[in-house]
Chains A and B, each alone.
Chain A
Amino acid sequence: MAQLTVLNPTGYPPKVTAKPMAPRVNTLDGKRVALVDCRFDDSDIFLKEMQGWFEQNLPNVKSEFIQIRNVYTKDDPETWQEIQKGFDAAIIGVGH
């Protein structure tokens, strides 16, 4: 059968640039962990329950509930700096 040549309909993706991750902590014992609420649906309830789990199961972990300052679609450097200065690790959620 005859063959056709057709054009590819897809656009041009950007080059992927490596983003190094932060080194992990050795242990959470005695560390401050930010529970970061992205303020989407009922994430706050979920993270407060997670805080309760830490208090009950790993009381040496200092978990603290914080909320981003604006909508999750906006960058929030104030909150990221607050986490950088005050915490050893972060758990952010809930993406759904």
Chain B
Amino acid sequence: MTIDHKYQVPTVAVHTDIFERVTRSVARVNGMPKMRQAYVPQPVMGKSPAELRAYIEGNDMVSGRPFMQEVIDGLTTPLDSEGAQGISFDRSTPRLVEPDTEDNLHQLFLDRHWTDTLPIVLPTEARVEAMLRGTSHKPDEVVGHMRPTGFREFWEFTVEKVAVNAVMAGCKPEYLPILLALASTGASARASTTSSAAAMAVVNGPIRHELKMNSGIGAMGPYNHANATIGRAWGLLSQNLQGGSEPGLSYLGSQGNNYAYTSITYAENEERSPWEPLHVQHGFKAEESAVSPFGGCRSTAFTLGIHEKYWQEHVRNLLRGMDPHNSPCYVLDPITARQFVDRGIKTKEALIDWTYENARMPAGEYWSYQLIQNYVYPRATYGEEPYASLLKAKPDELIPMYTRDEIQVVVVGGETNGYWRIMGGGHRGTTSVDKWR
């Protein structure tokens, strides 16, 4: 769109056919509904040159016409008035839904993809008003902007809109400041990525106790009202405030992700941790309350304990099982955190340093990972450090899989045993909950 509109060079964009709905939708909401597009079969990835040549010599998967004819016509057929001028229009969002029966409204919310398909609490005016008592902020205050992916447009939302989604998820009013804080970061728990990423939220500070959040036995599971409904509400508000999360249109996760139901939301077990809390690592005081969203949560590696003799080999093995483009977050039961201390890892920073030094792989292997090819290699060739320097390594030279700032450590669990895991997930910042009280 940029080349065609801003730089006025006639352009055809080629996509695989499964993205037809999303590409046409994106073109329309960008004011360019007649953008010329052509479609080949899915996938392109992994196909041989001969197979891709067959795509080119075959038919366009949407129009059914010869693919290259579609491309050539896209560059040479004169534009109609809508193509030449584009289109402008407003999209209003009414505050209220047309009154109806309870059953019909539940069906309407399902039909419009406003839920996670599990039963919701209907956001009546009385319930939303009660929810809004959980914050001192005005209902019409703009909280932030969100979008499901980088090529979509940002949508805007207010305190009231966050409260509506909190009601739907079954939250109590006192949970609202955490949701407002999460929403204010713009971090979506419903990213549309084909990689089926989910999100994670770690809560720190006094609000954990005020809300009776769980940081002990079963904290990451379905056993605590605040953990469960805050995480669910983050997902609902993401899909509704960013402009949707509809499969094939605004959600493209190929396999989907069960973590997305409640977005892995829990409190850090600060009291049983030997280390400083996550929010203190990121500049807050211990007596302040904060929440840290993570994105890109897909993979989990686990083991039991930190073996006295071979612990370094074991942890390296877990790290080597991760995709190097997916930042590691240690999620440690307090038993395990203390075992790390016993092995000489006295602080979270020491574990981060150890990981940076030990999560390594041969350069040739690293650069051949598809996600590294897509997202890191172009940054390296552009000159961005440390990737530009890493690109100079010989194929068998060991290079770090992660930068230090990609590695995080959280302590959670009830000490029924020393099981622990490494979540693949990127830290999206740590933000104040107190400012949204």
Contacts and interface: CB of A to CB of B under 8 A. Distances in A.
Given A16-B30, A46-B44, A21 B19 contact: no
Contacts of B97: 5-8
Closest 6 CB pairs of A and B: A93-B14, A18-B86, A11-B241, A96-B16, A41-B45, A95-B15
A24 B78 contact: yes
B88 A4 contact: no
Interface stretch (B152-160, B288-296, B348-356, B410-418): B152-160
B7 A68 contact: no
Given A1-B101, A19-B31, A83-B3, A7 B93 contact: no
Given A3-B101, A40-B374, 5 more contacts: A4-B102, A11-B156, A15-B91, A18-B87, A90-B11
Interface in A1-52: 1-28, 33-34, 36, 39-43, 45-46, 48-50, 52
Contacts, number: 271
Interface in B20-37: 23, 28-32, 34-36
A15 B88 contact: yes
A26 B43 CA distance: 32
A11 B93 contact: yes
Interface of B: 1-16, 18-19, 23, 28-32, 34-36, 40, 42-47, 49, 52-53, 55-57, 68, 71-72, 75-79, 83-91, 93-97, 99-103, 105, 109, 114, 122-125, 128, 146, 150-151, 153-158, 160-161, 164-165, 168, 236-237, 240-244, 370, 373-375, 377-379, 381-382
A23 B10 contact: yes
Contact of B153 (A14, A25, A43): A14
B433 to A, nearest CB: 21
B93 A94 contact: no
Nearest to B103: A1
Contacts of B154: 14
Contacts of B164: 7-9
A89 to B, nearest CB: 5
Contacts of A52: 53
Contacts of A69: 378, 381-382
B4 A4 contact: no
A71 B34 CA distance: 26
B125 A53 contact: no
Given A15-B90, A19-B1, A92-B3, A10 B12 contact: no
